């Protein structure tokens, strides 16, 4: 007779094998490796929870130490390859195949290992895309996750950094997988239940809190006049005319400058309440002055940010919080919000080509995509109208009848024409293409495709690509804001002048901005200490940002 | 180090009466600009000492655009460059013209 419950039986056998090491569900940290050897089978798909912020670091070390005769050739399906141990797994042979989304700090080593054939690469994804595949063809057999605390039954409190956990657990626990959580402490009662106990099979108590990276803190002291100028151009040249209220900001210094200019420059332009009111955004410390000045009505977050917990707790009108008072973040929902419910994405990149394609890949680094492509793309399934979306759609396609015309999300690339060490932002050919050739990839790792980009902002001005009618116009519009880079100096001057006549390119003076007014005194906060002061002492920056 | 020198004929005299001014700092990625009102009204000169070699073409383009845009007649600019980006150079030159013109912001 055919059995239709083989997977459930296999799951029960795994749990039974691990149960000998547990008291109830609780396993000592010293037994973590033995637990993993008991539960994981060779070739399993394993999600080792690691994203761009929180890391199941104890479980990574435990997995690295397994007996290779018991556990080997794993297929890792995880959003972040961030800790050295994540790659050590492949060096040692514990894991063989990888599907992931983001690899910030390991971007150079992951590139070397891919070139060296140490890792069999499935694909590099965006967060939402990888989460989606957890439910279709990359469902984990075992999930190794991180939480703040657990009770004896296994109810988990993930705290402000809930991030990916509910998504990973949903896919694993409801498809006959095993969920193992590392927690900072075992408590009588958890402050709130983020993950119900019946989805958690084992709990390992860690001797130290899981690692969290303060990835979204930008020190206002490091913001340059050039970044302030581009931020002014964006506010007055894009936010204001489109009336953009629902926004996702990238993590660069240019967007930090925008956040710090809202209560000063933005206020003088009379834009309060008309722009930048709702965000899909991590709790950026740089947004504190705008929040305190009454600009921001609501923020939903992918994760939390180190040092912001008390501030968030005290500003629950703005942030999403649980019954315990602390932030509830959720990466999958926030990515969805950024994709469907925001009218604008604005962020920086490392390279932009003549078609407007952009990439953060360089010849020796593969940083992955993270979430930017979800934010920085037009959602073709969107159906609700809004003023900026309709206006952008009308600019792109003035001839279609309005009731049948799609709107467009504003996807804005902002940056200075030269980046760190005088490396040009604009290039004839993306390094990503060379990398794809070297690694034999079918797709070059393009962060944001040119046909999704609507505006490019540099210190030289704003290029509105929605108004370009031919590929040639588009190329000249990009060259026309590329400054003194080779791409910029290669412009057709008369065509750029015509594009300026038509308002496709707008210079600072066309927008009513004098570059000489771009001054650090315009920033609402000029240091981390200023941010602490704005927060009334509620923001507690991590030590590496304290210099007083 | 590389020394560069540019001379341009200029449409009109720079505004103001101040005789000299200095902006910026010599630091990595930054530059110091000393501007002096020492030339005939229809001339402008820019003398550059730069830490970065081989960027003569970019300097030429930056200075050409600057002269076209600000018409800094009668001014001599002496630049100590610590490898600043072209946009920073443009900004400092514009700041120098504003400062010697004597108007405050």
Q: What is the pLDDT of residues A46-90, one digit of tens each?
A: 999 987 778 999 999 999 999 999 999 999 999 999 999 999 999
Which chain B residues are Cβ-neighbours of A515 within 8 angstroms? Answer: 90-91, 94
My answer on whether A128 and A234 are in the same domain is no
pLDDT at A346: 98
Q: Could you report the per-residue pLDDT of A190-207, keeping only the tens digit for each?
A: 999 999 999 999 999 998
My answer on whether A300 and A167 are in the same domain is no
Query: Please, what is the average pLDDT of chain A?
Result: 95
Read off the CATH number of the domain in which B87 is found.
3.30.230
CA-CA distance, A238 to A258, in Å (whole number)?
Answer: 12
pLDDT at B99: 92
> Does A361 fall in a domain?
yes
Q: Give the CA radius of gyration of chain B.
A: 13
CA-CA distance, A388 to A13, in Å (whole number)?
Answer: 55
> Does A273 fall in a domain?
yes
Query: Please, what is the average pLDDT of chain B?
Result: 92
My answer on whether A232 and A186 are in the same domain is no
My answer on whether A351 and A204 are in the same domain is no
Decide if B58 touches A, using CB distance below 8 A. yes
Asked if residue A114 has pLDDT above 80, the reply is: yes
My answer on whether A175 and A297 are in the same domain is no
Q: Could you report the per-residue pLDDT of A14-23, keeping only the tens digit for each?
A: 999 999 999 9
pLDDT band at B103 (very low <50, low <70, confident <90, very high): low
My answer on whether A77 and A134 are in the same domain is yes
My answer on whether A196 and A261 are in the same domain is no
Q: For a pLDDT cut of 70, what percent of chain A falls above it?
A: 99
My answer on whether A305 and A160 are in the same domain is no
> Does A14 fall in a domain?
no
Q: Could you report the per-residue pLDDT of A273-285, keeping only the tens digit for each?
A: 999 999 999 999 9
* Number of domains chain A is built from: 2
Q: Per the CB < 8 Å rule, is A489 touching B105? A: no
Q: How many residues does chain B have?
A: 105
The more confident residue out of A435 and B79 is B79
Residue A360: exposed, middle, or buried by beta-carbon count in 10 A (0-12, 13-18, 19+)? buried
pLDDT at A440: 86
Of the listed ranges A102-106, A407-411, B63-67, the least confidently predicted one is A102-106
pLDDT at A548: 67
My answer on whether A181 and A243 are in the same domain is no
Return the SS3 of A211: strand
Asked if residue A364 has pLDDT above 80, the reply is: no
Which chain A residues are Cβ-neighbours of B95 within 8 angstroms? Answer: 516
Q: Could you report the per-residue pLDDT of A434-464, keeping only the tens digit for each?
A: 888 888 889 999 999 999 999 999 999 999 9
Decide if B82 touches A, using CB distance below 8 A. no
Decide if B83 touches A, using CB distance below 8 A. yes
* A223, A248, A347, A349, A360 from A253: Cα distances, Å: 6, 14, 9, 11, 16
Nearest to B87 among A226, A489, A519 (CB): A226
> Does A186 fall in a domain?
yes
Q: Could you report the per-residue pLDDT of A162-175, keeping only the tens digit for each?
A: 999 999 999 999 99
The more confident residue out of A419 and A352 is A352
Q: For a pLDDT cut of 90, what percent of chain B falls above it?
A: 76
User: Chain A residue with minimal CA distance to B95?
Assistant: A516
Decide if B8 touches A, using CB distance below 8 A. no
Which chain B residues are Cβ-neighbours of A481 within 8 angstroms? Answer: none
My answer on whether A458 and A505 are in the same domain is yes
My answer on whether A244 and A175 are in the same domain is no
Decide if A259 touches B, using CB distance below 8 A. no
> Does A16 fall in a domain?
no
Query: Which of A196, A212, A228 finishes a domain?
Result: A212
Decide if A226 touches B, using CB distance below 8 A. yes
Sheet arrangement for strand A298-300:
A298-300, A278-280, A246-249, A344-347, A410-414, A455-458, A461-464, A505-506
Q: Residue A233, Cα to own-chain centre: how many angstroms?
A: 24
Number of helices (H) and strands (E) in chain A: give both, helices first.
22, 21
Mutation site for B-interface testing, chosen from A484, A491, A518 by largest number of B Cβ within 10 Å: A484
pLDDT at B104: 46
Q: Could you report the per-residue pLDDT of A21-55, keeping only the tens digit for each?
A: 999 999 999 999 999 999 999 999 999 998 777 89
* Number of domains chain B is built from: 1
Decide if A225 touches B, using CB distance below 8 A. yes
Decide if A417 touches B, using CB distance below 8 A. yes
pLDDT at A9: 97
Mean pLDDT of A301-327: 97
Decide if B33 touches A, using CB distance below 8 A. no
Q: Per the CB < 8 Å rule, is B62 touching A226? A: no
Asked if residue A323 has pLDDT above 90, the reply is: yes
My answer on whether A232 and A162 are in the same domain is no
Beta strands A358-359 and A344-347 are: unpaired
Nearest to A416 among B58, B62, B87 (CB): B87
Q: Containing domain of residue B61, as a range?
A: 2-101
Q: Residue A509, Cα to own-chain centre: how many angstroms?
A: 34
Which chain A residues are Cβ-neighbours of B91 within 8 angstroms? Answer: 225-226, 229, 515-516, 518
pLDDT band at A494 (very low <50, low <70, confident <90, very high): very high
Mean pLDDT of A89-118: 93
Decide if A459 touches B, using CB distance below 8 A. yes
pLDDT band at B105 (very low <50, low <70, confident <90, very high): very low
CA-CA distance, A385 to A198, in Å (whole number)?
Answer: 41
Q: Containing domain of residue A91, as a range?
A: 38-212
Read off the CATH number of the domain in which A55 is found.
3.40.1080.10
Mean pLDDT of A416-429: 91
Q: Per the CB < 8 Å rule, is B87 touching A516? A: no
Non-local (6+) Cβ contacts of A388 within 8 A are A242, A243, A244, A245, A343, A344, A410
């Amino acid at each position: 007779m055919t059995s239709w419950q083989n997977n459930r039986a296999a799951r029960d056998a795994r749990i039974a094998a691990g149960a000998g090491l547990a008291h109830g569900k609780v396993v000592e940290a010293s037994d973590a490796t033995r637990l993993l050897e008991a539960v994981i089978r060779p070739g399993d798909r394993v999600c080792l929870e690691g994203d761009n912020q929180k890391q199941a670091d104890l479980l990574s070390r435990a997995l690295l130490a397994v007996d290779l005769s018991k556990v080997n050739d794993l297929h890792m399906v995880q959003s972040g390859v961030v800790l050295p141990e994540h790659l050590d797994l492949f060096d040692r042979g514990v894991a063989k195949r990888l599907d992931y989304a983001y690899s910030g700090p390991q971007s150079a080593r992951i590139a070397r290992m891919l070139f060296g054939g140490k890792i069999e690469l499935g694909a590099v994804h965006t967060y939402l895309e990888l989460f989606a595949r957890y439910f279709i063809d990359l469902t984990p057999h075992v999930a190794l996750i991180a939480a703040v605390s657990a009770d004896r039954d296994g109810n988990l409190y993930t705290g402000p950094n809930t991030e990916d956990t509910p998504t990973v657990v949903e896919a694993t626990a409801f498809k006959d997988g095993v969920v193992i959580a590392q927690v900072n402490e075992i408590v009588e009662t958890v402050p709130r239940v983020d993950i119900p106990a019946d989805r958690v099979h084992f709990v390992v108590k860690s001797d130290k809190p899981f690692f969290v990276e303060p990835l979204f803190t930008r020190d206002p002291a490091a913001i340059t006049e050039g970044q302030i100028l581009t931020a002014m151009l964006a506010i007055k040249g894009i936010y204001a005319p489109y009336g953009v209220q629902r926004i996702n900001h990238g993590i660069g210094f240019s967007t930090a400058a925008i956040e710090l200019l809202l209560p000063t420059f933005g206020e003088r332009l009379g834009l309060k309440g008309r722009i930048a009111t709702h965000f899909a955004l991590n709790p950026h410390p740089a947004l504190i002055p705008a929040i305190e000045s009454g600009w921001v009505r609501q923020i939903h977050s992918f994760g939390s940010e180190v040092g912001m917990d008390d501030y968030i707790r005290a500003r629950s009108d703005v942030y999403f919080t649980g019954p315990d008072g602390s932030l509830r973040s959720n990466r999958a929902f926030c990515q969805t919000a950024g994709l469907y419910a925001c009218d604008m994405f604005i962020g920086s990149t490392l390279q932009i080509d003549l078609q407007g394609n952009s990439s953060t890949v360089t010849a020796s680094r593969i940083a992955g995509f993270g979430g930017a492509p979800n934010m920085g793309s037009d959602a073709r399934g969107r159906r609700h109208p809004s003023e900026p979306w309709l206006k952008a759609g009308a600019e792109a396609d003035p001839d279609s009848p309005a009731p049948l015309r799609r709107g467009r999300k504003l996807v804005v690339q902002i940056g200075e024409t030269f980046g760190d060490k005088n490396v040009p932002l604009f290039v004839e050919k993306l390094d990503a293409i060379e990398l794809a050739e070297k690694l034999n990839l079918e797709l070059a790792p393009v962060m944001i495709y040119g046909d999704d980009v609507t505006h490019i902002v540099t210190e030289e001005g704003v290029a509105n690509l929605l108004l370009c009618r031919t590929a040639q116009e588009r190329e000249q519009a990009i060259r026309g804001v590329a400054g003194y880079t080779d791409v910029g100096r290669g412009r057709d001057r008369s065509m750029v002048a015509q594009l300026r006549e038509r308002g496709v390119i707008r210079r600072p003076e066309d927008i009513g901005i004098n570059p000489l007014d771009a001054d650090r005194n315009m920033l609402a906060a000029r240091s981390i200490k200023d941010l602490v002061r704005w927060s009334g002492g509620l923001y507690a920056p991590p030590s590496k940002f304290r210099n007083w | 180090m590389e020394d560069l020198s540019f001379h341009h004929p200029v449409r009109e005299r720079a505004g103001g009466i101040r005789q000299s001014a200095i902006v910026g700092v010599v630091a990595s990625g930054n530059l110091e600009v000393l501007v002096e009102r020492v030339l005939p009204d229809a001339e402008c000169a820019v003398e550059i000492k730069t830490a970065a070699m081989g960027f003569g073409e970019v300097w030429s383009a930056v200075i050409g655009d600057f002269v076209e845009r600000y018409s800094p007649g009668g001014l001599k600019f002496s630049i100590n460059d610590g490898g600043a980006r072209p946009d920073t150079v443009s900004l400092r030159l514009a700041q120098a013209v504003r400062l010697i013109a004597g108007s405050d912001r």
